[in-house]
Each structure stands twice: as C-alpha cells, then as structure tokens.
Structure 1
Amino acid sequence: MSQDAIVIGSGIAGLASAIRLKVKGYQVDVFEANSYPGGKLSEITLNGYRFDAGPSLFTLPEQVEELFRLAGRKAEEHFEYEKLEVACHYFWEDGKQLKAWADINRFAEEVETKLGEPAQNVREALRSSAFIYEHLAPLFMHRSLHQVSTWTNAQAMKSYLKMGKLGIFSTMHEANKQRFSNPKMVQLFNRYATYNGSDPYQTPATLNIIPHLEFNIGAYFPKKGMHEITQSLYKLAEELGVKFHFNSKVEEILVEKGKAIGIKVQEDIFLADLVVNNMDMVNAYKSILRKQKQPKKLLDQPKSSSALIFYWGVKKEFKELGLHNIFFSEDYKTEFEHIFKKGSIYDDPTVYINITSTHKPDDAPKGCMNWFTMINVPNNQGQDWDQMIAEARKTIIDKVNRVLKTDLEPLIEVEEILEPRTIESKTSSANGALYGNSSNNRFAAFLRHANYSSDIKNLYFCGGSVHPGGGIPLSLLSAKIMMGFVGD
C-alpha cells in the first residue's frame, strides 16, 4: 500500500529528501513558500548578468551523484562538473598574492616561495586535516549523533583513542598558530571557520577538517553554475513523480495524538503518513510548530554569522581574479570580534568575490565580469542595517581599489543586494543566520536538532539548521541520515 509523504521546503536537503522518499516508494508532495525551488541555492539575473545567489563552493560532488544513482540514472548524463585547478586566489593589502593550487605539492611550494612558510608545514596541515576527517566524518557527517549505536560502534571506539589529535581541546586559531610561522598562513587556514559561520578564535580545532574537503578531495564547479545543482535535482524529482506546490506557505504542521498527520496551507488541509521539515528549525518551531513543545535549549543557542552580498555587474575583466577570491582583513581577530561580540561590521572586513564568468563566460556580457561580492556579518539583531550596508559598500569598494589598483565604482553597471533581513525573509533562516546555530564551542555538534522529532512521531528534519550542519554536502547528508529513521 502506497504511503504519502510531505516535504516542507525545497532547499537542497528538501529536494534530496523528496528524491529519497520517492525512490523508497512514497507519494511525495513538496510545499514551497517561494515561487522557485532551491532555497539559498538559487540564481539572480540582471541585464545580461547571471549570479548564483547563495552557496558558491562545491565539494563532495558524490553526494549529488548518489541521488541520481538511487533513481537509476547515470549522473553524468544529467549533471556535469569540473575539478578546479586553483581552489582560491588570496590577496593581502601589502601586495602579497597566493594561488591555492589543487595540487598540494604545488600549493605548498607556492606558499614557501611567496610567504616563506616551509612547504612541509602546509603538507602536515593537510595530513592533519585528513586525519581528523578519517576519524570524525563517519561519526559527525554520516551518522546521527542521537543514536547510541553511533557512540558504541568500532569506528567510534577507534576515534576515542585519538581524541587528543582531533582538535577537540583547542581552538582553530590556537592549532593553526602552532602549526604555521607566517601569520598570513594562520589567517588563511583560520578562514575555514567561516564555512559554517563560525569564529576561528572560538570554534574548536576539529573544524580544521574542512581544508581536507577542498584540497585533499577537491573543489569543483558545476559547468552550468551552482544553480544547476538545484535544477538537476528538481528535474530528477519531477521525473520521478514528486509533486511540487510553489507559492504555498505552510501555516502549521498538524499533530494528532502525538503524531504528525499533515499540514495546513491557508485554509487547505493536506494529510500524509509522514512530514519532513526542511525549513530552518528555529523558525519552524516558532511558526508551523508553535503549538507543540518547544526545544528551548536548542532554540536559545547563539546563531551563526550571516552575510552581506553585493551582486555587481562589472564592466571590465580583471585577469588576476579567478572563480574564488579573498581580500583579507589586516586584523582578522578584530573583524570576528565585531561579528560575534559587537554585532557590527568591522571597517576592514575580509572580502570574498566569486566570479563564475571566469569558468562560464555567458554569465556576463563580453569583456565584463559577474561579481558575487560578500563579507561575513552578524546575524540580524535589530541593527541599523541601512546605515551599516551603505558604510560597508564604501569600505569594500575602497579595499578592492587599493588591492587591485583600480577605480571600481564607475565599472559597476548593475547591482542587487542580499543582507540578513532579506536572507531571513527569502529563506526563513532565523535572524538571517546562514548556518543555524553557531559552532563557537566544542559542544556545538551536540547542540543541533536531531533528524527526527523525539516528541512527535512521523515528523522528521533535514537541512542546514539540523544535524550534521550547514553547507551543500552536510545538507545533502542530513537528508540521507534522516531516511535512516523513516519507518522506524
């Protein structure tokens, strides 16, 4: 007998959940408040320029490919990507520049030549990152932390013996400062804390697991842009028979006798055997689960950082820029103090510029570039964002002018802005935080909501605000972990 499943939200984890449920034999309906799928992983078009609106780094492509294989498709016939030769271009105000080559030996040699940091230190850092991944990924990325079996299996026991080497007892900054002699390399490796909206001066050194994904495994680019991840999975879901309901904001998850039985959309009731919530966990409890018991401890956890993004169409090509570019702050510690302690934007922020037209030329008119220009900012706590945005815009342009020795303002011919308030309104992310709860303490991994409800039967959770965390790979894995509980 066929069973019905409802998925709330068509973010990347919602799409993955819908596909997995359909493959398992469920009749699946996805309800999305927006008029398009993808959540943060969407796109913007402006007068001949195309921008990937949200996540811009692609790692662990096998998590996407697995969904096609589950559905009996050859992934390469539906979704194409290429491995990057250079993961990122780094710039400092003293004129130093660095290319983070995918070839680890080449990267290490470039670091030694350009910064005087022994190449061996880079190799050791990436070996250490691989070691952390080997011991922690099976626990924290691929299994639920809310099952006893996760902590009692042979892999877990093996990892317990290595705790001292896994970075649990020190901060990311402390670990990197011990490893590198050049402050620029400490800063470069500290940057990986921002991949889940954290502060390297507070978050545990276990987050040094992240460079392994980018270097040892690889960074990639979908040939049609990041938005193609969304589009390819959306098309796959439709082909499988998943039904999508856009412009359909869910008002309430219906619960009867301790079981989720469906949802309410305006005045309409839709019943199902199970409900999967892909909406931000905090906002879900405050809105569509407001009548249910609230997990206060989880809801009150500090939130991750947010982002201020300027989508700029630039009437010039800068040959020194690649797909991923970082213009570092001169005082990284003070920048993070402003974000996490003062709730403000530092007057010398680190600037990230993603330019997909370097790999996909039709994303910008000939001779032009599409700049996704982002700085990390605090989540929304009621600040005067209009003033802060205006000041940050000038600060960013001044910094780019100094580093690239240019006059950027006259070159900007189109502009759109995404900031914490609009991130929250468009994606239902609590306070506009990009990654849900913050990871700024060693227990953060344990302070994420499970992939199921312990109070409401047949209610499940996926997405970046629950276990195992934010970003494309972890969001996709949240759907996979969630499926392990369906039918239990």
Structure 2
Amino acid sequence: MKKNKKVIVIGAGVAGLASAIRLQVAGYQVEIYEKNQTPGGKMNRIHQDGYQFDLGPSIVMMPELYQEVFKLAGKNPDDYIPMEKLDPMYDVFFGAQATEKYAISSDFIDLIKTFEQINERDTEGFLTYLQKIYKRFNVAKNHFLQRPFRHFFDFYNPYMIWQGLKLRTLGNADAFISQHIKDERLKQMLSFQTLYIGVSPYSGPSLYTIIPMIEFMYGVWFIKGGMYTMATAMERLFKELGGNIYYQTEVDEIVVKGGRATGIRLNKEVVAADFVVCNADFPHAMKFLVKDTKAKGKYTDAKIDKMKYSCSCFLMYLGMDKKYEHLDAVHNFFFSEDLRQNIEGIFNGEKLEDPSFYLYIASKMDPSLAPKDKDGLYILVPVSDLSTSQYEWDEQTVSFYRNKVFTKLSGIEGLEHIENDIVSESYMTPIDFKEKLNAYNGACFGLRPTLTQSNHMRPQSKAKKCENLYFTGSSTHPGAGVPIVLLSAKIATEELMLDDGTFQNSKVEVKSYVNEADAAVKS
C-alpha cells in the first residue's frame, strides 16, 4: 500500500469525519478543515444555560453502521458510543388537541397489539406491507445503497436494470402504503418518516417506506450523551489515529490545475494535497468552492439552482423548569389534522396553519443533559426550504410557529401551562442552516431524493470532470440520514483508494440486517 499520501477533507460533518477515519486507517495522511469551532456539522450541540441539546439529528437507526467505523479501526464501539435500545421507540399523538396517543413499541408483539387496537383489518395489511418492502430493502441494500455509479454502464446494464425494476420506484410512498392500509392514523405512522430525508410521502418514491420498516424490525436506539457523542467520538478516534483537524478554518476554494484537484485555498494560502474529499454540501461546494468551469461539469450555477431541494426545519431548544413525567417517550410525534395538506404546504412554500412537529427529550435518557430535576425540550417543525418559501424568516414567523406548537402542546395533560415553565429558549431557522452550516437554500437534508435525483442520477462521490476530487454527504449518493451518509463516506473513500490502487475489501465483520432478519424468519 502507498503510504503517506496526503488527503484534505473539507468539513468535519458526519461523512467527513467517517471518511477521514477510513483513510487514516488505510495509511493516508489526513487533515480536516472545518469552518466552525466544533465537529459534527448538523450533528452538533447547543449549550444553553446548563441545558444541552442535539442541534439536528436525534434518532439512531441501524446502529451497526454507526459502530462500523470504530470496528474498522480495531476499536470497541461501546468504548466510544455506548447505546441503549428504546422501548417505546416513540409516542404518536393525533387530534387537534393531541388527545389520542399511541406508544409505538420496539417489541413486535406489543406493536401488533397496538395496531390491532387501532384497526384489526389494517394490521393484516401492515404485515403484507412489511413482507413486500423487506424484499425491496434487500435489493436496495445489496445493489444500490453501498455502491457507486461511476460509469454509464454501472447502472444501464441488463442485470442492474432488472434489480432496479424490483424496487418498483415509480409509485409514491403514500400510494404504496394505501394499497394495504386504509386507516389514516396507521398510514401516517408509516408515511411521515420520509420527512427524515426531506421528501414528501405524497411525491417521494415508494422505496422510502423502507424507513419505518427498519424502525419496526430493528428498533430505535439512544447514544449516551445524545447524538453529539457520535461526532465527538469520531473526532477522538481520528486524533488517536494521528489525524489533524483545523477548526475555525473556512475553505475558500478547491484548487484545480490541469483537470486535477491539487489542494485548497484558505484566503491567500494554498494547502497542497494529493486528494481532496469534500464534505461541504454538494450544491454549495459546486457553486462556491469549485471555481474551475471545466471541473464543475454539468453542475453549473444554473443547474444547481434548478435542482429540487429537501424541506428545511424550524427548531426550538427549550430549557424547562421541571421534569415532564406525563410524556413517557424520548421521541414524540404530533400529527396535524390533515397531514397531506400539511406536507403539501411545506413543499408549496406555504406558512403552515396546522403544522405537524416532533418533540425530543434527551434528558429522559441522560439526566446530565439538563440541570437536576429539569428537562430540555427539542422541538422540530418541518418547513419549506428558502428557495420554495413564500414568506420571510423574521421574528413574526418565529412567533407564528412557536404559538402553533404551544397551542397543541397545552392540550396535553401536564402541559397546560408549558410556556410558563420555560427558563431558556433559542431557535434554528432555515437561514441559520444556510449561513452557519452551508446548507444550500437552508435545505437540512440536501438535494431532495426524487426519482430523478436518486441512485445513478444523484451526484456521485467521484467528481466526473476533475481527478482526485471526491464528494460525500447528504446531497450525494446514496442520500440523506446519518446511516446513509456513513455509507456515502464508505463509497467515497473506496472510490479514492480504487483510483490510487490501494483499495482492498474491508475485513471488518459488521452484523448484517438482512442476515439478522432472515434468521428471525427461519426461527
């Protein structure tokens, strides 16, 4: 293996850190340059008056993918990211005053009992849905999610087209679920998770109903200290392996000479490298960091502006003066009366009169995240990205959404006077995601995973028109969501090593979800 070649990674987000660790393990000399003063990107932390909040991602699915990067380095993941399985996984609330509540258990027997309580006939349909989507999950996992599409014929060949047909991607998520389930409450429980990756269930490909399947079959987990523990653990591991991170150092340009990336420019200083891996959001990087016209390829400024973007988020971080025993779960979802109208409003740029939202109480699992006998509440409202929004983000808009959330929460027993319990309060808006984290158009999940912006039609890890330049993160293949961007890091680093002649298949044994499920079926 060729040793000591230098790789620069732009951005210490999840995929950037994972890429840096993989390359450092492989024998490269890796440096990370990060514009902010802490690791994690959107997986960051808000410190506020003695309360600690995860900034963005909060739900841990597919824990083996989190653990893989530590195993690759010969480490025990439990020493870095201790996890605990949640039961219930989350609670869901329906109705104008959120008076109808169901606990969604990670125990399959309890889950079926809950679904039977809602609608017995639709429970049969739920089992049919699981059986069908599990088959498609296997196809996606084995043929699409863990591989690049470097060349035209990597996708357009008889075998891959046959596998693609098995995915049945032409219908939308809601239409697929509606074939098997009629009760609106159950449909909403199965469809809202597409918002985890920023796409509507009413227009996004039906394949994305694999997200609730993964939750129901494998559970949801909590990392001690919250999701930010994953970011700091990867930073720690990278440094232990001899890597260097430069914080508060914003990259101004990816230097390209003769059709090859040769380093980065920091203000007037050029830092040379053999390879560059960019974890900055792909649209932002192509528009502002890649300044060589030929290196942009088809991703011109006009093309970037015409692409479709995911929804964004309005986040509230609330330090409360009490514990909330009336809320049983760490994760809580509150549905609007008309979810379709709510979600269509998001992607039409409307201000939402009845928004659905998500409430996360990490201090229930880890009391150290809030002062003694108090809770911190994290509230996320999916909203339009800045290119779609027909309204401005100002104090009036913040107040508008704040009031909508508290009106619904105050209808729950024990939360009648929730506003009076607030002792500390801050927000993140789409503008913050754009300005602080370089999320293009403030779109939290990057490019929207439409049919024409997925798989081989999504930006790939290896730059098409520039050698020695690679991309990773939510706007690149295979897409958004923490487990998926961890896969994007794997793809990007393997592409780099393939070009460098150093690629070897990983010998790390990572538990397979597919094998685990097969064993469960056989037993």
TM-score by length of structure 2 reads 0.88
Equivalent residues of 1:306, 1:434 under 8 A apart: yes
For residues 345 and 128 of structure 1, do their structure 2 counterparts lie closer, same or farther at Cα, with a shift above 3 Å needed?
farther
Q: Describe how 1:113-124 pairs up with structure 2 within 5 A.
A: 113-116=117-120, 118-124=122-128
User: Which residue matches 2:502?
Assistant: none
- 1:479 Cα shift? 0.8
How many residues are paired up? 484
Structure-2 residue corresponding to 1:400: 409
Farther off after superposition, 108-117 or 215-224: 108-117
CA drift at 1:146: 3.3
> In 2, distance between residues paired with 1:53 and 1:379?
18
Match of 1:412? 422
- Aligned equivalents of 1:176 and 1:324: distance in 2? 23
Cα deviation, 1:270-322, whole Å, max 9, x if unaligned, reads 10000000000111111111333431445521100000000011223332421
Contact 1:250 1:263 in 2 (8 A): yes
| One of 137, 146, 149 as aligned partner of 1:145 | 149
Q: Find the counterpart in structure 2 of residue 278 from structure 1.
A: 279
Are 2:104 and 1:97 aligned?
no
> Of 463, 466, 474, which aligns to 1:456?
466
Q: Distance in 2 between matches of 1:214 and 1:414?
A: 32
Q: Is the 8 A contact 2:122 2:183 kept in 1?
A: no
Q: CA deviation at 1:229?
A: 0.4
Secondary structure class of the residue paired with 1:141: coil
| Residues 167 and 414 (structure 1), Cα distance of their counterparts in 2 relative to 1, 3 Å cut | farther
Matched residue type, 2:202: Y
Q: Distance in 1 between matches of 2:468 and 2:106?
A: 44
Q: Which residue is 1:425 aligned to?
A: 435
Considering only aligned residues, what root-mean-square deviation do their CA atoms show, in Å? 1.9
Work out which of the residue numbers 17, 20, 28 in structure 1 matches 2:19: 17
Correspondence list, 1:356-395, <5 A? 356-381=362-387, 383-386=391-394, 387-395=396-404
Q: Identity of paired residues, percent? A: 31
Matched AA of 1:367: D
Partners of 1:48 and 1:364 within 8 A in 2: yes
Which deviations, in whole Å up to 9, do the C-alpha atoms of 1:10-42 show, x marking residues without a partner? 000000111111111111110000011110001
Give the CA deviation at 1:175: 1.3
Secondary structure (helix, strand or coil) at the match of 2:144 reads helix
Question: SS of the counterpart of 1:334?
Answer: helix
- Checking the alignment, whether the CA contact within 8 Å between 1:31 and 1:244 is kept in structure 2 is yes
Instruction: Report the TM-score, using the length of structure 1 for normalisation.
Output: 0.95
Determine if contact 1:92/1:403 at 8 Å carries over to the other structure. no
Aligned mate of 1:48, from 19, 33, 50 = 50
SS of residue matched to 2:245: strand
Distance 1:459 1:338 in 2: 38
Question: Which residue of structure 2 lines up, in the alignment, with residue 482 of structure 1?
Answer: 492
Q: Following the alignment from structure 1 to structure 2, what is the Cα–Cα distance between the partners of residues 33 and 442? A: 32
Q: Secondary structure at the match of 1:374?
A: strand
Structure 2: how far apart are the matches of 1:433 and 1:260? 27
Give 1:444's match in structure 2, choosing from 433, 448, 454.
Answer: 454
Alignment of 1:294-373 (within 5 A): 294=296, 295-296=299-300, 297=303, 300-321=306-327, 322-341=329-348, 343-373=349-379
Q: Please name the residue that 2:512 is paired with.
A: none
Per the TM alignment, residue 105 of structure 1 is displaced from its structure 2 partner at its CA by 2.4
Which residue is equivalent to 2:199?
198
Moved more, 452-461 or 343-352: 343-352
Q: Please, which runs of 5 or more residues in structure 2 have no aligned partner?
A: 500-523
Distance in 2 between the 1:115 and 1:395 partners? 30
- Check conservation: 2:330, 2:364, Cα contact below 8 A: yes
1:326 shift after superposition: 0.6
Q: Which amino acid aligns with 1:229?
A: M
Match of 2:506 in 1: none
- Letter in structure 1 aligned against 2:339: Y
Is residue 34–residue 247 contact of structure 2 (8 Å, CA) maintained in 1? yes
Q: d(CA) in 2 for partners of 1:157 and 1:344?
A: 38
Give the aligned partner of residue 171 of structure 1.
Answer: 172
Is the 1:202–1:441 Cα contact (8 Å) retained in structure 2?
no
Aligned equivalents of 1:150, 1:466: Cα separation in 2: 17
C-alpha separation in 2, matches of 1:345 and 1:415: 22
Give SS of 1:467's match.
Answer: coil
3-state SS of paired residue (1:68): helix
Secondary structure at 1:486's aligned position in 2?
A: helix
Partners of 1:217 and 1:155 lie apart in 2 by 30
Task: Return the match for 1:31 from 30, 33, 49.
Answer: 33
CA deviations on 1:60-88 (whole Å, 9 max, x unpaired) are 22222221122122222222111112111
Displacement of 1:120 in angstroms is 2.6
What is the one-letter code of the residue matched to 2:402? R
Q: Give the letter for the 1:283 counterpart.
A: H
Deviation of 1:268 (Å): 1.3
Q: Is the 8 A contact 2:34 2:246 kept in 1?
A: yes
Offset at 1:113? 1.4
Structure 1, residues 135-193: CA drift from partner, whole Å, max 9, x if none? 11222311113346754899847635x62xx3412111111122112111111111011
**Distance in 2 between the 1:95 and 1:442 partners?**
40
Choose 31-40 or 217-226, whichever is displaced more. Answer: 217-226
Cα deviation, 1:344-400, whole Å, max 9, x if unaligned, reads 231110010011011111212233211110110001137311122211111111011
Query: Secondary structure of the residue that 2:21 maps to in structure 1?
Result: helix
Tell me the distance in 1 between the aligned counterparts of 2:312 and 2:21. Answer: 29
Q: 2-side partners of 1:233 and 1:15: how far apart?
A: 6
Match for residue 106 of structure 1? 110
